[in-house]
Each structure stands twice: as structure tokens, then as C-alpha cells.
């Protein structure tokens, strides 16, 4: 439809693309649920109007959703993105929707190594 010749088109396994999308959806749900649980348990910092997110041993930042993903998977799944200057302010976020085309696993950073 875009005028790309068939021999220049990348072949994508539909079943694999669906599995990657479902894995990313499930991971996002658990990630955000972790934030909700943390807010319910620790409350909100009234001075900053942000939730208290304690540091988890072995992580260099206090982002509970990412810490939980790293705990479950030993890292994080991230979709492939372009490393170009973004043509628009929301371009980086839009690239997160390309997970059906592939993603990679980022290894957990070991603070004590």
C-alpha cells in the first residue's frame, strides 16, 4: 500500500508479533499496578505531590514499576526505536507502539558489582 516493492518489505511473523504485543501489554499492566500498590501502601509526598517510591536494594533509581520488571525478568523489555533527533515532541513515546516489530531485553544494572 505504501508503494514498497515486495522484495524490500520485511517479513513479520504474525503469531510472534501478537505474542510480543501481549507480553508488553501484560508487563505494562503489572508495571502500573506496582505504582498503584506503592501509592496505596506508602502514600503521596504532599510537598512534591508525587508518590513515595522507596529505593529497592540493588537498583540505582526509585522507579517501582521498573524495579519490579527487573525483579521478575532480570531486566526490562524495550521496543526498538530510532536513534534520530525526534521530529516532534511526542515522537519518542509514539515509538513505543512498534513492539510488534521487535524488542530487546535490557539487562539489570547491578549496583554492587
Residue 84 confidence (pLDDT): 64
Query: Is 1 within the bounds of a domain?
Result: no
Q: Which domain, by its residues, includes 90?
A: 14-107
Indicate the pLDDT class of residue 33, thresholds 50, 70 and 90: very high
Query: Is 93 within the bounds of a domain?
Result: yes
Query: Is 7 within the bounds of a domain?
Result: no
Condensed to tens digits (0 to 9), the pLDDT of residues 34-56 reads 888 888 887 777 777 676 776 66
Query: Is 30 within the bounds of a domain?
Result: yes
Condensed to tens digits (0 to 9), the pLDDT of residues 4-31 reads 788 887 777 888 888 888 988 898 899 8
**Helical H runs in 43-75?**
64-73
In the chain, the number of structural domains is: 1
Contacts of 50 (CB under 8 A, 6+ apart): 44
pLDDT exceeds 60 at position 112: no
Amino acid at each position: 500500500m505504501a508503494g514498497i516493492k515486495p522484495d524490500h518489505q520485511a517479513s513479520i511473523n504474525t503469531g510472534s508479533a501478537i505474542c510480543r504485543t501481549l507480553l508488553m501489554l501484560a508487563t505494562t499492566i503489572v508495571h502500573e499496578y506496582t505504582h498503584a500498590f506503592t501509592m496505596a501502601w506508602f502514600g503521596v509526598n504532599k510537598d512534591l505531590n508525587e508518590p513515595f517510591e522507596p529505593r529497592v536494594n540493588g537498583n540505582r533509581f526509585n522507579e517501582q514499576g521498573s524495579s519490579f520488571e527487573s525483579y521478575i525478568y532480570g531486566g526490562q523489555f524495550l521496543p526498538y526505536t530510532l536513534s534520530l533527533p525526534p521530529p516532534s515532541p511526542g515522537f519518542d513515546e509514539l515509538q513505543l507502539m512498534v513492539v510488534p516489530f521487535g524488542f530487546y531485553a535490557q539487562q539489570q544494572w547491578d549496583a554492587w558489582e
